[in-house]
Amino acid sequence: MALIWQPKLLFSPLLVTTFCLLVNLVSSRTRPFTPPTVTPFTNSFPRVPIDRAFSNAFGASNVNLLSNGTIATLALDKLSGSGLVSQSGYYYGFFSAAIKLPAGLSSGVVVAFYLSNADKFPHNHDEIDIELLGHDKRNDWVIQTNVYANGSVSTGREEKFYFWFDPTKEYHYYSILWNSYHTVFLVDNIPVREFKQGSVYPSKPMSVYATIWDGSEWATHGGKYPVDYKYAPFVVSFSEMELAGCNTDPSSQCSKSTTSSSGLDPVNGPQFTKLSQQQMAALDWARRKLMFYSYCADKNRFKVMPPECH
């Protein structure tokens, strides 16, 4: 769960007004940004049928499978959220979904596409998160990325970004690349964050989750804008799922060699172990234009910065 960084404003009223105008500009629905061109990772891996690759995790009555199992809608209402979990666990891989978010007032609603092994390692788990947050009363969504490693849940590694598009009007790709070199978070194939392998790094096989739930207590400026259920149900749609990793099923050849040196690892090629110059330029663009919170800049929260921040 993320904390919102709110630095002390030691500026003149004119500068404060200018700052607020800039924030409103970048967080509006009509952003003036054109994303860079990148080679899409999503073209490198096959799509999987949702009805065969996933099972119900919770809120089964709010889960609907459409188009012969290629699309899943998940709903949040007063009674329950809902979620799916992959039938297999994975050690490294590329995991992606095309997601269309709920339209209208969605403050407090959290849509998540993430990897976790908390069910198998409750006291020492790993997690790689893409969380899409209904953020405030402007009907605006933001994306939060986070990494937990080996039970390091006391140190969230959140970074938050605005979108350069309206994520409720059509499907957009949200992807995670995870291997022994780095973890890369991508939106429409644009890298927005690279978390490099280090002393704190996810190291155990994980399942893939797709969920929608009520995050009122933390997702909206510390609970300032809770979910308003008069607008329920909130429905998110998932499609074009890609789960390309070392399957941990005992019958899988890839699971017998859980090292990145295995030729069976689908994300061990040179295009996956290091970002290209094109991708690095896109990463720089996203972080300059769209990022509005990084735990590595939150000196109020951390008296001593986590080691990877250096």
Q: In DSSP terms, which residues pair with 127 in a beta bridge? A: 116, 148
Strands (E), 149-290: 159-162, 172-178, 182-187, 190-196, 207-214, 234-247
Tokens of 122: 């409750």
Helix (H, G, I), strand (E, B) or coil at 172: strand
Catalytic entry in 127, 158, 159, 194: 127
The C-alpha torsion from 283 through 25 and 109 to 191, rounded to 10°, is -10
Please confirm, yes or no, whether 127 is among the known catalytic residues. yes
What is the distance between the alpha carbons of residues 134 and 113, in angstroms, rounded to a whole number? 15
Catalytic entry in 131, 158, 159, 242: 131
Please confirm, yes or no, whether 217 is among the known catalytic residues. no
Burial of 67 (0-12, 13-18, 19+ CB in 10 A): exposed
Q: How far is CA 35 from the centre of its chain?
A: 19
Helix (H, G, I), strand (E, B) or coil at 51: helix
The closest alpha carbon to 155, from 214, 98, 199, belongs to: 199
Burial of 178 (0-12, 13-18, 19+ CB in 10 A): buried
The conformation of residue 221, written as its DSSP 8-state character, comes to T
The C-alpha torsion from 63 through 48 and 278 to 286, rounded to 10°, is 10
The closest alpha carbon to 290, from 183, 143, 171, 101, belongs to: 143
> How many CA atoms does the CB half-sphere of 72 hold within 13 Å?
27
Q: Are 278 and 38 in contact (CB under 8 A)?
A: yes
Active site members:
127, 131
